[in-house]
Structure 1
């Protein structure tokens, strides 16, 4: 087992304050950029950038077009994960507002499928790429502008250009450094051992209601088969008596407080705690080349019948521009999806973590995971 793959998450305390930086930048004027006009119309028909085109090297908000009007966004991400970015963008543009609706991915997908073209949102902001792949499968999203498609690596987006990742995360093993003896080296590098090893009985937790956990289950089905996945879930519930949380932040806080020893979750929850307290007794390790270290993205798709597709496209450029990407890295502890934005701090790289190669469009069958988890009793 390579040491790099078990590398603990280092302190993130030296990160710059994103909101302070962007708040100051919000006073800068945008020169030479066309606005989106008032009223309910989306006046542009070229679907192209109204300022600079998005680039892999990352452009600044100063170079993009003004945002003007009201954009309807359904979000599968929780408010604490994405509202600070929404608020900062709204504060920058006096005539721009986001009409946001927050709920879990499954609920949002059901609403979008049940609603008509008159009531659907302009843009869906998801917690997991599986939800975007599901919308693509149902022909409910439209092809993104070429500059957006070209700026984001195919590993982080739909190869057909119908949705794009906005930030990345990796499934990880969170652990309390005071309670778990031996540190990362004593943790298995195979996700299946966490459902079988007696050392984890009564001290392990997970969050089955999250979109990324359900995507992890879909990936396990795709990679290992349904029966092996059922046995893993059954082992976690029946043999390990895993604690089930409905909040990723709460789960990580419980591990940090010593109320849980080990937690299966996204790496950024531990990252947030360490950013605020570098000496906190929480760290992460990773399994190797299996669903337990699945790389997934939170991302966006523009609805096929959006009232304001061009406004939605320019908003997407803002999310993917330098300031948007820095928010995910510095405030959320996530990975950027543009080459031009670097990690801040000492997060392990994806090559060090060694996640499996996986087509994120294969995560579309979220209901398969929901049904399996319900049948095996892993619900909250």
Structure 2
């Protein structure tokens, strides 16, 4: 059956998809200005950027949009881009920019703060936070042991019309890339085709997918873990109809990272370096733990309560540098009409 696309306007960042350039409150009229392309929701990272401005006196002009859109824009702009830093929702987009030769090397003393496995191998970008892919399930209709342990099972007839996901989301596209890497091109193409034929609920973002599960309109949703934790913090975990199942070792349960890259034109820019350094500081890492419920990547900062240890979720067959072929994953999704 044909996929149903739910245009659910959930989350504060959707209005930013028009790629509007938004400047944060300036510390001073004559302050130094830093242009940052931000592939994350303004509601999540806007307060942190304002904090950086207040502490440094540097004015940040932030351009908010979805990570895939900004990646395409940066590739089109090339070295003509006004962007000095790119804050990405996932590693694959950063890898694609590095492959195109558009990013400068992160200084070693900064790059070395983040452990191997959660950042680039060649210092072309730096990991900022970790997020696990999970299955959100309707706790009123399903027990945890009734939820598949692998996304491979989701193409089965019993899940027809019951799985929600956001195919245009960068994290979902990175999952597809991981599927291609771990199970091969043919298996990945078969999974995408099987899902497209299984009448999925297509949404605009992770939060919209979670909302469908939380209201009983879908039994399962493929999301990043922290969306559930943010909502649970607002309404109380006991009031969440949706529950989470982690998938350690499965392509559908990969741990991806948000990350930052300095663009070539800002290779020697002190403000760009200061911003990236701030993102991996203890102060910013604690913000991500307390406000967005993501895994911190800076050693010594504890993860949010209730999350499994991040190293228990790692897939030994996957390196984040392998996620740079996101363009092929987008084409795969397009071939089956999912984007």
Is the 2:162–2:200 contact (alpha carbons within 8 Å) kept by the matching residues of 1? Answer: yes
CA-to-partner distance for each residue in 1:116-166, whole Å, 9 max, x for gaps? 545431101101101111111111111112221110011111111110110
Structure-2 separation of matches of 1:117 and 1:354 = 35
Whole-angstrom CA distance in 1 between matches of 2:190 and 2:220: 20
Contact 2:173 2:329 in 1 (8 A): yes
Number of residue equivalences: 310
1:214 and 1:370 in contact (8 A); partners too: yes
1:115 is aligned to 2:67: no
Q: Does 1:219 align with 2:178?
A: yes
TM-score, structure 2 as length reference: 0.86
Q: Which consecutive residues of structure 2, in runs of 5 or more, have no partner in the other structure? A: 1-27
Look up the match of 2:298: 338
Runs of 4 or more, structure 1, over 4 Å off, are none
Check if 1:203 corresponds to 2:162: yes
Q: Quick one: distance in 1 between partners of 2:53 and 2:216?
A: 39
Query: Is 1:257 matched up with 2:215?
Result: yes
The 2-side partners of 1:86 and 1:171 are apart by 26
Cα distance in structure 1, aligned partners of 2:146 and 2:205: 27
Q: For each residue in 1:196-251, what CA deviation from the matched residue of structure 2 results, as whole angstroms up to 9, or x when unmatched? A: 2x33122111110011111111111111112211111111121x211011121122
The 3 A distance-change label for structure 1 pair 314 and 256 is same
Q: Which has the higher contact order (CA 8 A, sep 6+)?
A: 1
Structure-2 residue corresponding to 1:373: 333
Which range moved further: 102-111 or 150-159? 102-111
Q: What's 1:77 paired with?
A: 40
- Aligned 1:28-177 pairs, distance under 5 A: 69-93=32-56, 95-115=57-77, 117-177=79-139
What is the rounded CA distance, in whole Å, between the counterparts of 1:275 and 1:166 in structure 2? Answer: 22
Residues 273 and 371 (structure 1 numbering): CA distance in 2 closer, same or farther, change over 3 Å? same
Normalised TM-score (structure 1): 0.77
The 3-state SS of whatever aligns with 2:117 is helix
Residue 290 of structure 1 pairs with residue 250 of structure 2: yes
CA–CA distance in structure 1, aligned partners of residues 44 and 215 of structure 2 = 21
> What's the CA shift string for 1:89-119, capped at 9, x where partnerless?
22334x3211011122232122222325454
* Cα distance in 1, alignment partners of residues 224 and 283 from structure 2: 23
Query: In terms of Rg, which structure is larger?
Result: 1
C-alpha distance in structure 1 between counterparts of 2:83 and 2:280, whole Å: 20
Matching of residue 229 in structure 1 with residue 229 in structure 2: no
Identify if the C-alpha distance between structure 1 residues 100 and 354 changes in structure 2 by more than 3 Å, giving closer, same or farther.
closer
1:303 aligns with 2:263: yes
Deviates more, 1:84-93 or 1:357-366: 84-93
Rate the CA distance shift 1:326–1:294 in 2: closer, same or farther, 3 A: same
Note the C-alpha offset of 1:299: 0.4
**CA distance in 2: counterparts of 1:127 and 1:352, whole angstroms:** 22
